[in-house]
Amino acid sequence: MLKVEGVAYHYPGGADVLADVTFSAGPGEVLALVGRNGAGKSTLLRLLNGLRKPTRGTITVDGMNTADTPVHLVSRAIGTVFQAPEQQIFNATVRDEVMFGPRNLPIPPEERERRVAEALARTRLEAFGKHHPLDLDQARRRFVALASVLATGPAALLLDEPQRGLDARNAALLEEIVRAEQAAGRCIVIVCHDMEFVARLATRVIALAEGRLSADLPPLAFFTDPALTAQASVEAPDMVRLSTALSLPPVLDPAAFAAAWPPLPPQFRKS
């Protein structure tokens, strides 16, 4: 679904921001794109959605080469939720914002309505359809941007720091939506600095360091390699650090930890 082959990119007059990046991703995969500030993550995102074209190499999205496909066609296959929702919201009401994508697709009006209603329901925005998106709090603005992408039904999703600034309740809703999209066979790429979030959702970690791919590994393999995490300026999730500190086999989640934890000695057991 996503194929990145030998991709390099430099901004006009600048040095390479990305050099020789290669990876691919299929349906149902959740890729976490990690790396320190300035590693090239946002640039890679803008290459994946066709806003920028690689200087070298090729990017294929759902069979389309982004270098010679108009951006509006690439964006039907790969929807992007940018870091700041203000960067992509431009309609006067939440409903119009979410309808913008479907209105520009060759689908019947009733299907457009159905998609908008479903996207608003999934993001818990039904009651805010008539509001101006920028009158909403930061979390709801983020969900407006996400709803407008979901309503277009893309094959792949790019989410740039989607959990940033969300409280636990909204982060849980975001996770629920990502899992549902994954189950529906979408390919999802998440740029993220929150490794607890990555540990819960990602099937693979793609790490960038100084414009190059430094890792393409399952989360546990990545988080248990101190050299790789240091290079990407990543803090391993607490469960990995806790299990490692206690000389247990490393685990990602609390349930796996509880299963691995030895039974308590007699004085701690219930009588």
Partner 1 sequence: MALIDVRALSFGYGAAGPLVLDRLSLTIEAGERVAILGGNGSGKTTLAHWLAGWLPRPGMEPRGGEMLAEGRPFPQWSALDRATAVQFVGQVPMQQLSGFAFTVYDEIVFGPGNLGLPAEEIRARAEAVIEACNLRHLLDRDPFTLSGGEQQRLSIAAALVMRPKILVLDEPTGNFDPESRDSLLDQIRRLPADLTIVLCDVALKPALAVAHRFVLLDEGRIVADGSAHDVFRHPAAAAVFGVPAVAEAAALLRAAGRWPAAAELPLTLAAATALFREAAAC
Tokens 């457009």 appear where?
112
For residues 179 and 240, give the distance between their C-alpha atoms in angstroms, rounded to a whole number.
22
Phi/psi of residue 78, nearest 5 degrees: -140, 110
Residues paired with residue 79 on neighbouring β-strands, in sequence order: 157
Residues 96-155 that bind partner 1 (CB under 8 A): 135, 137-140
- The residue among 181, 141, 132, 183 whose CA lies nearest residue 158 is 181
Indicate which single residue of 54, 57, 237, 250 sits in contact with partner 1 (rule: CB under 8 A): 237
Note whether 3 binds partner 1 by CB under 8 A.
Answer: no
In the chain, which residue ranges form alpha helices assigned H by DSSP? Answer: 41-48, 71-77, 94-103, 109-122, 138-150, 168-183, 195-201, 219-223, 226-231, 238-245, 254-260
Give the binding range for partner 1 (CB under 8 A) out of 21-29, 32-40, 57-65, 216-224.
32-40
Taking residues 156 to 195 in sequence order and writing x for each that binds partner 1 by CB under 8 A, - otherwise, the string is -----x--xxxxxxxxx--------------------x--
Note whether 239 binds partner 1 by CB under 8 A.
Answer: yes
Residues 196-215 that bind partner 1 (CB under 8 A): 196
For residues 270 and 52, give the distance between their C-alpha atoms in angstroms, rounded to a whole number.
62
Residues 240-259 that bind partner 1 (CB under 8 A): 241-242, 245-246, 253-255, 257-258
Q: Smallest distance from the beta carbon of 86 to partner 1, in angstroms?
A: 8
Q: Smallest distance from the beta carbon of 147 to partner 1, in angstroms?
A: 16
**Angle, CA of 168, 245 and 250, to the nearest 5°:** 70
Q: Smallest distance from the beta carbon of 252 to partner 1, in angstroms?
A: 9
Residues of the shown chain interacting with partner 1 in the complex, contacts defined by CB under 8 A: 35-38, 83-84, 86, 135, 137-140, 161, 164-172, 193, 196, 233-235, 237-239, 241-242, 245-246, 253-255, 257-258, 261-265, 267-270
